[in-house]
Amino acid sequence: MSALPTLGLIGTGIMGAPIAGHLRAAGYPLRVHTRTPARARPALDAGATWAATPAEAADGTDFLLTIVTDTPDVEQVLFGTDGAAETLAPGSTVVDMTTISPRVTRVLAARLADREVALVDAPVTGGDIGARQGTLTIMCGGAPRAFAAAEPILKTFGRNVVHVGPPGSGQTLKACNQILCAVNMIGVCEALTLAGRSGLDLPQALETLAGGAGGSWAWSQLGAKIASDDLDPAFMVRLIQKDLRIVQEAAQELRVPLPGTALAQQLFRAVEAEPGGGALGTQAMIKAYRRLLD
C-alpha cells in the first residue's frame, strides 16, 4: 500500500490537467472526474483512474481536490446529484482551487464540517504557464490543521503556498488578486494606446519601462501580446468577468467602493459584446480602447 494519501481530482481543464500531471509525477494515487471525459485523457495516460461521478471520485479518498468553473459548479459537484459529499469519509479534506464566492465558501465549509470533513479553499494564481511549470501561488483558507495536511500536496504544483486565515480567506485574497489583474490591465492598455498614437516603438517602450516603477507582469507579458496583436487567451475575458462579479459581491457585503474594478468590468463588457469576445484573453481589453479611438 502506498504511503501517500489517495487523492481525487474533479476538473481537468486548462489548470486541472497539468495539476493532475504533477500529482501523478509525485506518486500520488489519483482518481479523476470531469464533465468532458476527453479532457481527462492525459491524466489517465499518466496512471490516474477514471471516476464516472463526483461521488465516485471522492469515494475512499483522503483528499478531494476541485478546480471547476464557478460557485454553482462547486456546489453541484459537492452536494448535487451523485455529489462528492455522499461518499466523503469523516476525517477527509476537500481542497477547492476554484475561484468562487468567499461567502459561499464559508457556507460549504460549515456543511462539510457537519459531516466531519474539512474544507481548505485554495484558489490559485499564475495562469496556465504556472500550472504547467508547477510555480503557482496558492492562497489558502481553512483550519490550520487541515492546511498543514494539504500543504505537501499543494506544493507539488505550487511554489508559494500560504495559509492566510479561516475558511473563505483564500477566496477573499484571490478576489484582491483579481482586482490587481483587472486594474493593471487598464494601465497597460492606456499606456500602450498613448505610446502607439505618439509613434513610439512599442517593443522598445515595453522593454524600457519594464524595469521602472510602472513595470509589472501584466506590462511585460500581456503588453507584449498586445504589441504583437496576440489576443489568444491564457485567461479568458469571460472568466475574469466571472471573478469580478465575485469581487463586487464581496465588496458590496462590506460596503467597499471599487470604482477602478467597475471601470475594468465595463471595458471587458465592451469586448464581450463582440462576437467571440468573451473567449479572448484579458489583454483583449485593448479592443475597447481601439474602439474609442475610431
Q: How far apart are CA 244 and CA 178, in angstroms?
A: 7
Q: Which residues of the chain are modeled with pLDDT < 50? A: 1
Same domain flag for 159 and 13: yes
Boundary of a domain, candidates 134, 166, 198? 166
The pLDDT, as a whole number, for residue 3 is 85
Q: How far apart are CA 159 and CA 30, in angstroms?
A: 21
Q: How far apart are CA 232 and CA 41, in angstroms?
A: 24
Residue 125 lies in a domain: yes
SS (H, E, C) the chain: CCCCCCEEEECCCCCHHHHHHHHHHCCCCEEEECCCHHHHHHHHHCCCEECCCHHHHHCCCCEEEECCCCHHHHHHHHHCCCCHHHCCCCCCEEEECCCCCHHHHHHHHHHHHCCCCEEEECCEECHHHHHHHCCEEEEEECCHHHHHHHHHHHCCCEEEEEEEECCCHHHHHHHHHHHHHHHHHHHHHHHHHHHHHCCCCHHHHHHHHHCCCCCCHHHHHHHHHHHCCCCCCCCEHHHHHHHHHHHHHHHHHHCCCCHHHHHHHHHHHHHHCCCCHHHCEHHHHHHHHHHHHC
Over the stretch 117-127, which tens digit does the pLDDT of each residue have?
A: 999 999 999 98
Same domain flag for 144 and 184: no
Q: How far apart are CA 98 and CA 121, in angstroms?
A: 8
The pLDDT, as a whole number, for residue 1 is 41
Same domain flag for 130 and 240: no
Q: How far apart are CA 288 and CA 98, in angstroms?
A: 28
Same domain flag for 154 and 179: no
Over the stretch 26-81, which tens digit does the pLDDT of each residue have?
A: 999 999 999 999 999 999 999 999 999 999 999 999 999 999 999 999 999 999 99
Residue 110 lies in a domain: yes
Q: How far apart are CA 251 and CA 268, in angstroms?
A: 19
Residue 1 lies in a domain: no
Domain that holds residue 223: 172-293
The pLDDT, as a whole number, for residue 183 is 98
Catalytic positions: 174
Same domain flag for 265 and 217: yes
Same domain flag for 154 and 230: no
Residue 138 lies in a domain: yes
Residue 150 lies in a domain: yes
- Determine the residue type at 19: I
Same domain flag for 161 and 46: yes
Q: How many domains are there within the chain?
A: 2
**Domain CATH for 80:** 3.40.50.720
Same domain flag for 155 and 216: no
Same domain flag for 250 and 140: no
Same domain flag for 116 and 157: yes
CA distances from 161 to 133, 170, 243 (A): 15, 11, 21
Residue 249 and residue 243 in contact, taking contact as beta carbons nearer than 8 Å: no
pTM, to two decimals: 0.93
